Amino acid sequence: MSAELKDNVKGLFGEFGGKYVPELIIPALEELEEAYDKYKDDPEFQEEFNYYLKQYVGRANPLYYAERLTKKLGGAKIYLKREDLNHMGAHKINNALGQVLLAKRMGKKRVIAETGAGQHGVATATVAAMFGMECEIFMGAEDVKRQALNVFRMKLLGAKVTSVTDGTQTLSDAVDAALRNWVERIDDTFYLLGSAVGPHPYPTIVRDFQSMIGEEAKEQILEQEGRLPDYLVACVGGGSNAIGLFYPFVEDKDVKMIGVEAAGLGVDTDKHAATMAKGRKGVIHGFKTYVLQDDNGQIMPVHSISAGLDYPGVGPEHSYLKDIGRAEYVSVTDDEAVNAFQVLCESEGIIPALESSHAIAHVLKLAPELDQDQVIIMNLSGRGDKDVYTLADRLGVEL
Amino acid sequence: MSRIATTFARLQDQGQQAFIPFLMTGDPTLELTKELVLEAERNGADIIELGIPFSNPLADGPTIQRAGKRSLAHRTNLKDIFKLVKEIRTESQIPIVLMGYFNSIFNYGLERLINSCEEVGVDGLIIPDLPMGEDEELRALSNEVDIISLVALNSSPKRIKELAENSQGFIYAVATLGTTGERGEVSKEVKAKVEEIKSLTSTPVAVGFGISKPEHVKEVASFADGAIVGSAIIKRLEDNLELLPESEAEFINSVGEIVSTLTSPLN
Ligand SMILES: Cc1ncc(COP(=O)(O)O)c(C=O)c1O
């Protein structure tokens, strides 16, 4: 492991990351860091985590050879890491489970979380229900509208859903609201952050709690193909499903890693969320990273058809992987993602999340350019039931 | 001695405490901010805190969030703010401290920021999301501009000691476990915290967040060197926006009045 990636004592990935938070939050971060250091290698913690991952989440999930899609595209072999088959239908549950076990050990009684697509909100509400914790989810009012199904699921699971009407009323504003609430209730509340973002130690914790994706995939591809893949492809909102897949392969220099961001209506319009393509270095939500901002350093409103990619920053480890040239970041428009969604439905009988559809859209471009003996692993981060209304709307179908 | 240190020294000699109002620069306009600064000074302000509006003001409650929004509606930026301070300096030598979020400053450039502050006469910087551990680079760049540290009610003794040792200008003791905004009362823990800080340093300590009534100012003044009031003033300003543009003098006056009311226990 390269020095910077492993030895991130201050939470730095190169120049990215850090702890840019009000003094009030520092003690909570220190408490979290201490707890994490104590438990991350604790056999009893790991055993409990692995037990629930297996018996409750249903891991290991398959690495599925998408034969029809591969044939259709006529290039590299495409494997799908089936995070969509996890309990509740996305990779978010992995991290939520890890963090709630930590919260429990820290004696916290209440968990809060931000959510965009609602997947992380559902995951958090799920683990809170499991462990009998009070749960409040902050969600941008715009997302509450687009993800009504997930809002109802959270409520069924016993969570309180607070609609955030600040700013563009999307994920970024939900993070602000959750952080503010954490500040107000810092003594009894655990902030269960849903992506590989935020102040240290969150990006490290979330990455570690998602790394089984890449670890399993590595084992599975060695079993099925007898070799490592040529490409890893994953969508990037904050970057948790992508870093979970990438991280165990970082030292395997021949494995190329591609993160796919949301280009919305196009990166040259003002309606996109392509942070790597159009962002500059800055500080958002407590960490240094690439940020979509205007000339004055104001965070810009972002847009994507998929609420989970609608974020003006990106995890600090991704910014570092980009700068050292270890990973590449591309973007895909709303239209391309909608098309890819349909392609996967029809070719493989899998309804993917709109977030994951961005990764698929890139695979549709990449695979035909590669040889038939090359291998792509794509992270199918979630299933698309939550997105059928958006799709219907898009396709002019009345449900 | 810096303008901030001189002000506290003078007040201490007189057995008085500083009153520090917060105004959001550009709320409702840059021209009016200038008038409000001068009006606040006439009504007993000792130091002025000027907010740099930011799209994601993490530490602020709804009132200051709205003030930031009003200012950003006409795209107030740091260049405008420095120009404004330069204009204020032709009429007033009141210490001016800018309060803003780190991305605005990082985006402007740290070195350029310090140069601009020194050039126009900004005396200090308060950056709520640049805690000890991340502020070293800015401190290293700054000679004349005080980088003001914030101490929270839950800061550990070890951190408070280190913060106190590195403090410049004054120490900002945050009186709530939360964001800015008006509160019913000053929490009992604040006094103990301020005393803890004062036992470690001779740097003056001012208390802010939630200080919203003359009684609060009076209470805080009994154990700290200054009181900072933001939301309560902005709330008044907001309630009187309807006076604009017709009755500008009356609008300015109304803000002066609340400053005067809040400072009354200090005289
Ligand atoms: C299915 C799915 N994939 C991807 C994401 C994006 O998040 P991240 O980049 O952290 O994986 C989300 C976020 O809500 C999601 O629900």
pLDDT, one tens digit per residue, over B209-244 is 999 999 999 999 999 999 999 999 999 999 999 999
- In order of A162, A255, A277, A327, the CA distances from A173 in angstroms are 12, 36, 22, 28
Tell me how crowded residue B115 is: count the other CB atoms within 10 A of its CB.
14
Buried b (16+ CB within 10 A) or exposed e, A1-40: eeebbeebeebbbbebbbbbbbbbbbbbbeebbebbeebb
- Burial class of residue A224 (count of CB atoms within 10 Å of its CB; 0-12, 13-18, 19+): middle
User: B177 pLDDT exceeds 90?
Assistant: no
User: A167 pLDDT exceeds 80?
Assistant: no
Q: Which domains does chain A have, with CATH numbers?
A: 14-54+91-205 (3.40.50.1100), 60-89+211-395 (3.40.50.1100)
Distance from CA of B155 to the nearest CA of A (A): 6
Percent of chain A with pLDDT over 90: 88
User: B15 pLDDT exceeds 80?
Assistant: yes
Q: Is A282 helix (H, G, I), strand (E, B) or coil?
A: strand
Query: B166 — contact with chain A (CB < 8 Å)?
Result: no
d(CA A126, CA A137): 12
Place of tokens 């005396």: B123
For residues B11-25, average pLDDT: 97
Task: Specify the residue with its C-alpha closest to ligand 1, atom 13.
Answer: A308
At residue B160, the pLDDT reads: 97
d(CA A47, CA A1): 25
At residue B1, the pLDDT reads: 78
Record: contact B72-A291, CB cut-off 8 A? no
Record: contact A187-B72, CB cut-off 8 A? no
Per-residue tokens: A297: 């350093």
pTM metric for this prediction: 0.95
Q: Which helix (H) or strand (E) holds A333?
A: strand A327-333
User: B107 pLDDT exceeds 70?
Assistant: yes
Q: Which among A324, A209, A306, A196 is positioned nearest to A261, based on CA atoms? A: A306
Task: Specify the residue with its C-alpha closest to ligand 1, atom 4.
Answer: A355
At residue B178, the pLDDT reads: 83
Q: Is the CB of A241 under 6 A from ligand 1?
A: yes
Chain A: residue whose CA lies nearest to B58: A176
List the A189-191 sheet strands across, edge first.
A160-164, A134-140, A110-115, A189-191
Cβ contacts of residue A331 below 8 Å, gap of 6+?
A260, A261, A262, A263, A267, A272, A274, A276, A277
Q: Is A216 helix (H, G, I), strand (E, B) or coil?
A: helix
CB-CB neighbors (< 8 A) of B130 in chain A: 20
Record: contact B106-A297, CB cut-off 8 A? yes
Eight-state DSSP code of residue A252: -
Ligand 1 atom closest to the Cα of residue A383 is: 1
d(CA A301, CA A312): 7
Q: Is residue A4 very low, low, confident or very high in pLDDT (cuts 50, 70, 90)?
A: very low
User: A6 pLDDT exceeds 60?
Assistant: no
For residues A219 and A212, the answer to whether their CB atoms sit within 8 Å is no
Chain A residues whose C-beta is within 8 A of a chain B C-beta are 10, 18-24, 26-27, 30, 166-167, 172, 176, 179-180, 183-184, 186-187, 280-286, 288, 291, 293, 295-299
Record: contact A27-B152, CB cut-off 8 A? yes
A124 C-alpha to center of ligand 1: Å? 14
Chain B: residue whose CA lies nearest to A282: B103
Q: Is residue A166 very low, low, confident or very high in pLDDT (cuts 50, 70, 90)?
A: confident
- Give me the helix-helix angle, B157-165 and B189-198, nearest 10°: 50
Q: Is A293 helix (H, G, I), strand (E, B) or coil?
A: strand
Asked casually if ipTM beats, i.e. exceeds, 0.85, the reply is: yes
Q: Which of B54, B106, B159 sits opposite A298 (nearest CB)?
A: B54
Phi, psi angles (nearest 5°) of residue A330: -125, 175
For residues A199 and B58, the answer to whether their CB atoms sit within 8 Å is no
Q: Which domains does chain B have, with CATH numbers?
A: 3-264 (3.20.20.70)
At residue A173, the pLDDT reads: 86
- Give me the helix-helix angle, B248-263 and B214-221, nearest 10°: 40
Record: contact B128-A22, CB cut-off 8 A? yes
Q: Is the CB of A124 under 6 A from ligand 1?
A: no
Active site residues of B: 49, 60
At residue A9, the pLDDT reads: 57
